[in-house]
Each structure stands twice: as C-alpha cells, then as structure tokens.
C-alpha cells in the first residue's frame, strides 16, 4: 500500500501556511503592479473578487499538489475512478441540499433582521453577477467560471480531498467529516449553517462513492442552480424587508421538505468509527 501521505500533510504546516503564503504573494504582486502603475483597474473594483479567488486558491492547490506528491500523494487515487452512483437519487439529494441551504439562510437572516434590518437589507440586496464594475461583461464571465468550474474543483480538493482525510487519519473519519465541514461553513459567512451541512453531504458523497468527482459535480450543479435566477432575470430584483419578514415561515416549510432526504442519506452513509478514508480504500 505504501506510506500514507496524510501522515505527513498537516493542516497547520501545509494547508494553513499555504493559504497564508498564497495570500501574501497575491498582495505583494498587487503592491508591485500598483507601484509601477500596471494594474488594469483600481483595487477597489469588484472585478478583483473572482481574480483574487482564482489566484489565491489556484496557488494554494498547486502548492498542495507539489507538497502532496513529495509526501507520496497519488492524484488518481485521491480523485478515484469514474463513479457509479444513482444520479436520480443524487439529483434529489442535491435539490434537497439546496432547499435546506437556502431555507436555513433565510431563517438566520430573519433573526438578524429583527435587530439589524439595515445589515440584512444590504446583504440580501447584493447581486452576484450584476454589480457595478469597470468591465461588467468580463466580471460576469469570471464569476460564472469561478462558481461553476473553479470553486467546485478547488474547494472539493482542499476540503474533502485533503482536510477530510488528514483529520480522518489524525483522529477518525467522523471527526474528519465534522471538522472539514464546520471549517467550510465558517469560511462562507453568508450562510455558515447551510454550508456546513453542504460540506457534510459532499464528504459523505465522497466516502460513499470513493470518487472526488461526485462531490465536484454535485458542487457545480448546486452553484449552477444558485446563479440561474440571475442569469434568467433581465433586471435586478428589488428587496422588500417587510415582505421578507412576513414570509419567513416559507423557510420552515423548506426545511421540512429537505429534511427527510438529507436525514436518510446521512443515516445510511455515515461511516463507522474505524472506517478508513476514501484515499486508503482506493
């Protein structure tokens, strides 16, 4: 079987340090380009948002691939073979996950709106694709690329491919699922509860199928569903705080609709304490 690379790849010395170095490198690059007046648009332009994501997480993934290979990591073994999974059930699962994520976000924002209505109105009025920027069309293309292709691959590689398995080796698979999912949720401040649950489902999909391509495709599908309303809308929707507060109960219905499928999947897929991570099973 050979050595286990996740005995060597560690969160603090590899993942966290890699993130900090990637971030520092990007900031240094901006400072140098700004000094020589080579920046293509002002730093406060929203167009930097997708560029930053690709640069920081791209450097991070590339570095983890290199350090992983030095530790004996096999990418084909990490990603697994072509998955065999009932995609009808998978569609139901991801749809339920999307409903749960949206509903939990609305309930959290409803609670916040009772004492900070301005904050909620500002956050829920934000648009992902239709923002004021110097090159609107380029921004839209970059954001769509990040949301549908780049983020699913990069985030699943880091959180499920590396962190889940590192913490599974350090403690056990259940701890790996929970820690990687909670961290995933914390880093998505717009919806920590929904994205923590999303992380759990993605981890269990990987464990069940032993193919990282399954959560990558599920992640991409989820993001496609998320951006579709904006793609189909010709004009930005206006946010009405009063209407939002009076219809919060719809989110409770959403949770009730999503709960049976998600609960069944978690119950039937949750691994035993001594179960090995997917990498060691491939």
- Delimit the domains of the chain by residue range: 75-281
Half-sphere exposure of 260 (CA within 13 A, CB side): 5
The predicted pLDDT at position 236 comes to 62
pLDDT tens for each residue of 105-153? 999 999 999 998 888 888 888 888 888 899 999 999 999 999 999 999 9
pLDDT band of residue 86 (cuts 50, 70, 90) is confident
- Residue 84 pLDDT exceeds 80: no
235: confidence class by pLDDT, cuts 50, 70, 90:
low
Residue in the block written with tokens 């401040």: 189
210, 187 in Cβ contact below 8 A?
Answer: no
Statement: residue 5 has pLDDT above 70: yes
Has residue 166 got a pLDDT over 90? yes
Among candidate residues 32, 258, 71, 35, the one with its CA nearest the CA of residue 162 = 71
Region of residue 277 (left: phi > 0; alpha: psi -120 to 50; beta: else): beta
d(CA 8, CA 72): 9
Please report the sign of the dihedral spanned by the C-alpha atoms of residue 212, residue 218, residue 219, residue 220: positive
| pLDDT of residue 1 exceeding 70 | no
Cα angle 159, 164, 170; round to 5:
140
Q: Which residues contact 82 (CB under 8 A, 6 or more apart)?
A: 211, 213
- Reported as a pLDDT band with limits 50, 70 and 90, residue 218 is very high
Mean pLDDT over 24-35 rounds to 93
Going by C-beta distance under 8 Å and a sequence separation of 6 or more, which residues neighbour residue 127?
Answer: 230, 236
151-179 burial, b at 16+ Cβ within 10 Å, e below that, comes to bbbbbbbbbbbbbbbbbbbeebbeebbbb
């Amino acid at each position: 079987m050979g050595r286990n690379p996740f005995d060597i790849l560690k969160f603090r010395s590899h993942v966290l340090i890699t993130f900090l170095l990637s971030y520092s490198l990007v900031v240094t690059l901006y400072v140098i380009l700004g000094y020589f007046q080579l920046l293509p648009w002002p730093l406060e332009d929203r167009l930097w948002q997708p560029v930053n994501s690709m640069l920081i997480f791209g450097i991070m993934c590339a570095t983890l691939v290199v350090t992983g290979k030095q530790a004996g990591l096999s990418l084909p073994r990490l990603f697994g073979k072509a998955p065999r999974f009932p995609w009808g059930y998978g569609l139901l699962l991801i749809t339920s996950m999307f409903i749960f994520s949206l509903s939990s976000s609305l309930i959290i924002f409803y609670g916040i709106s009772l004492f900070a209505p301005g904050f909620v109105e500002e956050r829920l009025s934000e648009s992902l694709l239709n923002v004021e920027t110097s090159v609107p069309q380029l921004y839209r293309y970059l954001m769509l690329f990040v949301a549908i292709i780049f983020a699913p691959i990069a985030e699943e590689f880091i959180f499920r491919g590396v962190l889940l398995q590192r913490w599974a080796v350090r403690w056990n698979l259940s701890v790996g699922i929970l820690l990687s999912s909670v961290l995933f949720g914390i880093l998505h401040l717009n919806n920590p509860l929904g994205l923590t649950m999303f992380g759990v489902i993605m981890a269990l999909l990987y464990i069940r199928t032993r193919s990282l391509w399954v959560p990558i495709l599920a992640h991409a599908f989820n993001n496609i569903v998320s951006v579709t309303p904006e793609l189909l809308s010709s004009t930005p929707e206006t946010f009405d705080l009063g209407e939002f507060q009076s219809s919060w109960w719809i989110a409770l219905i959403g949770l009730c609709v999503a709960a049976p499928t998600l609960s069944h999947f978690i119950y039937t897929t949750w691994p035993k304490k001594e179960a090995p991570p997917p990498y060691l099973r491939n």
